[in-house]
Structure 1
Amino acid sequence: MIEVETCRAALLGSAERDVWRAFQAADPALASPYFSLGFLDAMSIVRRDTRVLVIRESGDIRGFLPFHKGALGHARPLGGPLSDHHGFIAAPGAVFDLQTVLRKAGLKVFDFFGALGTQTAFRDHAQEVDGSWVIDLSGGYDAWIDTRSAVEPKAFRNLRARRRKLEEETSSFRFRINDDRPDVLAKALEWKSAQYRRTSHFDVFSVDWTRKLIDTLLGGGLDNTSGLVSSLEINGQLAAAHVGMRSDTVLHYWFPVYDPAFSKLGPGLNLLLEIARGLSADGLNEIHLGPGEYDFKRELASWQFPLASGYATAPSLAGAARRIADRIENAAESLPLGVVSTLPGRAFRRIDRLAAFRAA
């Protein structure tokens, strides 16, 4: 029988942290910085609602589940809406019943939207299944280029043409894989905020904790996690930037942005390829591009790993309310009303997304 303890990151002792590191090191599926202790510590600095479940059996730690504790026992994954990947940090093959874990932790609802689909605890409650695209650099940059060029010859011809155009039609250009200039970070986040507003998406950097998180990740000193800003300058002007985070072996491709004035030169893709080249030489094995049906992800990625979205509830009024909301959404979407039938679901998701960003 399992026992579940809820605690703050700062209260994890050295023994618990050693077990966490051992779990992460033993399972390649947990190599992302999202599963590192450093990301937990960074989130605990910027959000007071950060917690972690410690799951024990016969006194031995079997797993951890980091999360954000909301009102009325509502839990969300660590990192909130910025978390593309989440799940249990446990030994390979470990199996948990998510409802039992929630009940023993006193939690009523757990919403997830990028949980590892390989973990049965989430797969059993999944309503949607997606995949996260992966650039595999484990054999080196040249091996990845050769393999993907054979599969996507047209796409890689276009990439080579864009690189030639960059070399031939500019007086100068410079890549920086690790660009620590504050003005570059500021400009990258300014551009990203403008892009969110232009495309009618919520500006994730309009809330304090998201920017503080980036600063914390870039500040260094975290366990197997660090922020990374990369840039491309063309003719002395910033043309593209990427703000991401990495573990020892995985870069999470997080916030890419470029100046549309340079779009014909493919600044974003040129920067991504240079990041792959540079970090491959620095021991990086994978770049996680996240989910989404984008041509560049499909063309560059070597493979995908499954992600699950859904929710689990423990017996409670909050759990019943979550299930009722889900039934309303499903019933509305089954009606032959066109776009109108999606409105309840869109409203619920928007409310939940805003609540997740505003929590602290």
Structure 2
Amino acid sequence: MSIQVVKAQDLSPADIARWEELRRGQSRLDSPFLSPQWTLAVAKAQGDKGHEVKVAIRRGPEGEAIGFLPARVRQDVAMPVGAPMCDYQALITAPGVTMDPRDLLAALGADRIDFCHMMADDVTLARHARGQADSWVVETPDGYEAYAAERKAAGVGVLKDIEKKRRKAEREVGPCRFTAMSESRAAFDQLLAWKRVQLLLTHQTDLFKTPWVNKLLDELFAMRGPTFGGGLYTLHLGERLAAVHLHLRGEHTIHGWLIAHNPDLERYSPGLMLFQDILKSMDGTPYTRLDLGTGDYRFKRELSNAQQKVVFGFLGSPSVPTLVRHAVYGVRQMAEALPLGRISEIPGKAMRRMDLLRGLH
């Protein structure tokens, strides 16, 4: 068995079809971030740097593809495709198929592979994790009403609270109007404007200054395929735009991605109202899962009824890049073990910021 590496843009139609075939039927791989279409969209958006987006393909004895790992390779380091915009990574294989990490490094021509949202059940890479987090998931296989009853039985009152705020908003502002798969460019632009203000106020990096990020968002906003693409969801109160979400869609999963709301209407929690509308709209469609992603936020804990563990870490061969990464993780782990409050978080935050900037450029 061998590992072949090709540029994403050179993937053959047969290999793209095989990638999709391997994902089909494995709910753990249904995320749109694990689709070949995500990798292709990122490579296209990154323009003259798109050649850095590569796919390692493990082939069986007859030359058939049995495993795929996409990565962006820069300066001898492989990183997730589309980072920091990518919320999941995994090796795409049939059940039980793995790749030797040393063979992966050699094939990619990399000294190190970094990952930040690797699925915790990935048997090839997850064992090299240095930490983990929960991705919060809402599963609605039996529809919204069954989900709402389950939340109520669990003693979680978030849906009742949303309904109460909805009634108050309709009395004081105007009737709610929900639109799924909106084609409104004005709403899309408003979402990005609200997100930029949000990033500025919270002293975070403005992702939207990076040209390839904007090109990627434009491309995904326009993609309406049945098994991959963007989905713009809007909520109006009267004539006022109250909240906008741009999510990614897989075959059965909607992944919560970019969310923002009108700050003048914040007291009504319009973002939560929009999440509730999206969940209701999934009835009678192929979608049975709304993935809210990582982040320990109260609304995610209360809406979710399942979790998917993801891990962060790296694997590397003996080299300077690997030694540097070992040292940085060592400092981070030592600081986080000390009872210094927020000071203990500084190395981890600095590391995440450095990784974010690496991904953007």
TM-score in terms of structure 1 length: 0.92
Partner secondary structure for residue 318 of structure 2: coil
What amino acid is aligned across from residue 178 of structure 1 in structure 2?
A: M
Seen in structure 2, the aligned counterparts of structure 1 residues 338 and 184 have a Cα distance that, compared at 3 Å, is: closer
Greater Cα offset, 198-207 or 152-161: 152-161
Which residue matches 2:4? 5
Greater Cα offset, 148-157 or 334-343: 334-343
1:38 aligns with 2:37: yes
Distance between the aligned counterparts of 2:95 and 2:196, measured in 1?
Answer: 39
Greater Cα offset, 221-230 or 279-288: 221-230
Q: Is contact 1:64–1:90 with CA below 8 Å preserved after alignment?
A: yes
Which residue matches 2:295? 292
Describe the superposition over 1:238-273 as per-residue Cα deviations: whole angstroms up to 9, x where unpaired: 111101110121111011111121122221111111
1:283 aligns with 2:286: yes
Which residue matches 1:95? 98
1:74 aligns with 2:73: no
Which residue matches 1:215? 218
Seen in structure 2, the aligned counterparts of structure 1 residues 198 and 328 have a Cα distance that, compared at 3 Å, is: same
How is 1:315-334 mapped onto 2 (pairs within 5 angstroms)? 315-333=318-336
Partner secondary structure for residue 227 of structure 1: strand
Partner secondary structure for residue 24 of structure 2: helix
Seen in structure 2, the aligned counterparts of structure 1 residues 349 and 134 have a Cα distance that, compared at 3 Å, is: closer
Seen in structure 2, the aligned counterparts of structure 1 residues 136 and 341 have a Cα distance that, compared at 3 Å, is: closer
Partner secondary structure for residue 120 of structure 1: coil
Describe the superposition over 1:138-174 as per-residue Cα deviations: whole angstroms up to 9, x where unpaired: 2112111111121134323212212222333333331
Which residue matches 2:359? 356
1:178 counterpart (175, 181, 189):
181
Count of matched residue positions in the alignment of Structure 1 and Structure 2: 356
Partner secondary structure for residue 26 of structure 1: coil
Q: Is contact 1:177–1:275 with CA below 8 Å preserved after alignment?
A: yes
Greater Cα offset, 162-171 or 279-288: 162-171
What amino acid is aligned across from residue 324 of structure 1 in structure 2?
A: A
Distance between the aligned counterparts of 2:58 and 2:253, measured in 1?
Answer: 26
Which residue matches 1:112? 115
How is 1:159-308 mapped onto 2 (pairs within 5 angstroms)? 159-220=162-223, 224-308=227-311
Q: CA deviation at 1:345?
A: 4.2
Distance between the aligned counterparts of 1:255 and 1:20, measured in 2?
Answer: 26
> Where do 5+ consecutive residues of structure 1 fail to align?
none
Which residue matches 1:27? 26
Seen in structure 2, the aligned counterparts of structure 1 residues 80 and 153 have a Cα distance that, compared at 3 Å, is: closer
Distance between the aligned counterparts of 2:299 and 2:137, measured in 1?
Answer: 12
Q: Is contact 1:4–1:105 with CA below 8 Å preserved after alignment?
A: no
Describe the superposition over 1:193-227 as per-residue Cα deviations: whole angstroms up to 9, x where unpaired: 11011011111112111111111112226683111
Distance between the aligned counterparts of 2:264 and 2:292, measured in 1?
Answer: 24
Identity %: 29
